[in-house]
C-alpha cells in the first residue's frame, strides 16, 4: 500500500513538472504549452495586484495596420496575448520600445505613459486581461 501511495505521489509530481503529459478524466492527453512566466512588467517593475475587491476583465482588441493608440497608462496590471500581427509599444517617458509579434505575451507597464502602433501589414489581434479594483477602469488617456 505504501509503495502504491509513493508511486502515485511521484507520478503526480512528474505530471505537474511536465504538464504536456497530463491526462483528462478519460485518459486523453492534454497538451499545455507555457507562454510566459515573469515577475516584472515590460519596463521592469514588479507586478503588484489591486489591494481590494479584484475584478478580472477580459477583452479582445483589433488594431488596424498603421493604427497608433493614443498615449495612455494603466493604473492596474494588464496582460495581453498577441493572437496575430506585430505591435510596437513605446514608453514615452523613457523612449524605450518593445516589439511584440504573434504568439508573444505582454505584461504591460503600470502607471507609465506609453503608446502602441501596429507596425505590420495585418490587423493586430490581442486578447487582453485586466486585474482592477472592482468598478475601476484600467486605461487613462494623457490629456
- Residue 47: its pLDDT value, please? 87
- The sign of the CA dihedral 120, 123, 125, 126 is positive
Asked if the structure places residue 101 within a domain, the reply is yes
* pLDDT reported for residue 7: 37
State the pLDDT at residue 22.
59
pLDDT of residue 2: 39
Q: What is the pLDDT of residues 50-83, one digit of tens each?
A: 888 999 999 999 999 999 999 999 999 999 999 9
Do residue 66 and residue 130 come from a single domain? yes
Distances (CA, A) of 94 to 11, 20, 98, 112, 113: 48, 40, 12, 9, 9
pLDDT at 85 over 60: yes
4-8, 53-57, 104-108, 111-115: the lowest-pLDDT one:
4-8
In a domain, 46, yes or no: no
Whole domain around residue 7: which residue ranges?
1-34
* Tens digits of residue pLDDT in 6-47: 334 333 434 444 444 556 677 788 887 888 888 999 999 988
In a domain, 84, yes or no: yes
Compute the distance between CA of residue 92 and CA of residue 96 in angstroms, rounded to an integer: 7
Q: 69 and 16 share a domain?
A: no
Residues 83, 27, single domain; the answer is no
Amino acid at each position: 500500500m505504501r509503495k502504491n501511495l509513493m508511486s502515485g505521489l511521484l507520478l503526480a509530481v512528474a505530471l505537474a513538472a511536465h504538464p504536456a503529459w497530463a491526462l483528462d478524466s478519460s485518459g486523453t492527453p492534454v497538451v499545455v504549452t507555457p507562454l510566459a512566466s515573469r515577475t516584472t512588467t515590460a519596463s521592469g517593475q514588479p507586478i503588484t495586484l489591486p489591494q481590494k475587491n479584484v475584478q478580472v476583465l477580459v477583452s479582445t482588441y483589433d488594431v488596424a495596420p498603421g493604427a497608433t493608440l493614443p498615449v495612455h497608462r494603466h493604473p492596474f496590471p494588464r496582460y495581453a496575448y498577441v493572437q496575430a500581427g506585430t505591435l510596437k509599444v513605446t514608453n514615452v517617458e523613457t523612449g524605450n520600445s518593445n516589439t511584440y509579434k504573434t504568439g508573444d505575451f505582454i505584461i504591460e507597464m503600470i502607471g507609465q505613459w506609453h503608446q502602441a502602433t501596429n507596425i505590420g501589414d495585418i490587423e493586430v489581434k490581442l486578447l487582453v486581461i485586466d486585474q482592477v479594483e472592482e468598478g475601476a477602469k484600467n486605461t487613462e488617456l494623457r490629456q
